[in-house]
């Protein structure tokens, strides 16, 4: 028996059908209930509901590919999303991102305290990131990277200093709204572990492309766009950290 998900849009009600909770979305993985975090059905419902209510999501952070690269290089790797964005906006407000500034010029801005969420914070790894940003802007100056697909752009970006698979995939997803790459951060990996759609024996350091393929197959099986699923999982998992830790610590009911 199928499940019915209800989405309220103003005074209207939209109903969406999903497979039975007992059906398999992938071999050995059941859909589960749409209201049960974090089942496959839950993720599918969240993606569909958000699209119905808000329309297609907008991933881009920058006004150019160079700005997108800078925004993503400044984020991740232990840097809170709000802090990374604040640092990016600080740099952009100076006009430096329109050229090829030196690492020293970038560092002077990144070392300045910022107000984030009502608190004064300092940007971590300022010296290292200033060097990465300076080199990235030099590499992109006057260059038109290949953009026939998100994966092609991602693979080109891997040649930039300080840019690994996750950051390169993040840039490609944001800039091209790409569905052929995945941003495999800790939140997505934890969701994959809890939902069984990512192999726990693989690591992003050694098996990024294999894990990415598993994630893309999961999105395809759910019938949703990988770019949207990635974003929804990141937001939901980051906002439910206590619940996630409790679920991860619970004994396996195999």
Tens-level pLDDT at each residue, the chain (254 residues)? 789 988 888 878 889 999 999 999 999 999 999 999 999 999 999 999 999 888 878 899 999 999 999 999 999 888 999 999 999 999 999 999 999 999 999 999 999 999 999 999 999 999 999 999 999 999 999 999 999 999 999 999 999 999 999 999 999 999 999 999 999 999 999 999 999 999 999 999 999 999 999 999 999 999 999 999 999 999 888 877 677 667 667 654 43
Q: What is the pLDDT of residue 248?
A: 61
Q: What is the pLDDT of residue 244?
A: 66
Q: What is the pLDDT of residue 180?
A: 98
Q: What is the pLDDT of residue 2?
A: 86
Q: In whole angstroms, how large is the CA radius of gyration of the chain?
A: 20
Compute the Cα dihedral for 116, 122, 125, 126 and give only its sign: positive
- What is the set of domains in the chain, with CATH numbers? 3-57+182-249 (no CATH), 65-176 (1.10.340.30)
User: Residue 88 contacts by C-beta under 8 Å, 6 or more apart in sequence?
Assistant: 61, 62, 67, 70, 71, 74, 75
Q: What is the pLDDT of residue 190?
A: 92
The residue written with tokens 């990024």 in the block is: 208
pTM of structure:
0.90
Distance CA 42, CA 31 (A): 8
What tokens does 159 get? 């040649």
Q: Provide the CB-side half-sphere exposure for 249 (13 A, CA).
A: 6
Q: Helices 226-239 and 186-195: crossing angle, nearest 10°?
A: 90
């Amino acid at each position: 028996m199928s499940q019915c998900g209800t989405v309220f849009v103003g005074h209207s009600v939209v109903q969406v059908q999903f497979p039975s909770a007992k059906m398999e979305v992938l071999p050995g993985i059941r859909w589960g209930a749409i209201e049960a975090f974090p089942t496959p059905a839950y993720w599918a419902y969240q993606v569909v509901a958000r699209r119905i209510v808000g329309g297609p999501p907008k991933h881009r952070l920058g006004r150019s590919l160079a700005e997108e690269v800078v925004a993503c290089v400044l984020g991740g790797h232990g840097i809170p999303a709000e802090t990374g964005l604040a640092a990016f906006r600080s740099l952009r407000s100076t006009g430096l991102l329109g050229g090829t500034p030196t690492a020293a010029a970038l560092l002077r801005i990144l070392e300045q305290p910022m107000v984030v969420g009502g608190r004064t914070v300092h940007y971590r790894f300022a010296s290292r990131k200033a060097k990465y940003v300076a080199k990235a802007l030099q590499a992109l100056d006057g260059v038109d990277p290949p953009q026939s697909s998100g994966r092609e752009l991602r693979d080109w970006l891997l040649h930039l200093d300080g840019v690994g698979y996750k950051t390169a995939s993040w840039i490609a997803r944001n800039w091209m709204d790409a569905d052929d790459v995945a941003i495999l951060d800790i939140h997505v990996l934890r969701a994959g572990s809890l939902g069984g759609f990512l192999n726990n024996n693989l690591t992003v350091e050694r098996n990024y492309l294999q894990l990415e393929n598993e994630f893309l197959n999961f999105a395809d099986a759910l019938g949703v766009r990988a770019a949207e699923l990635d974003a929804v999982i990141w937001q939901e998992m980051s906002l439910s950290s206590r619940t996630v830790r409790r679920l991860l610590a619970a004994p396996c009911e195999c």
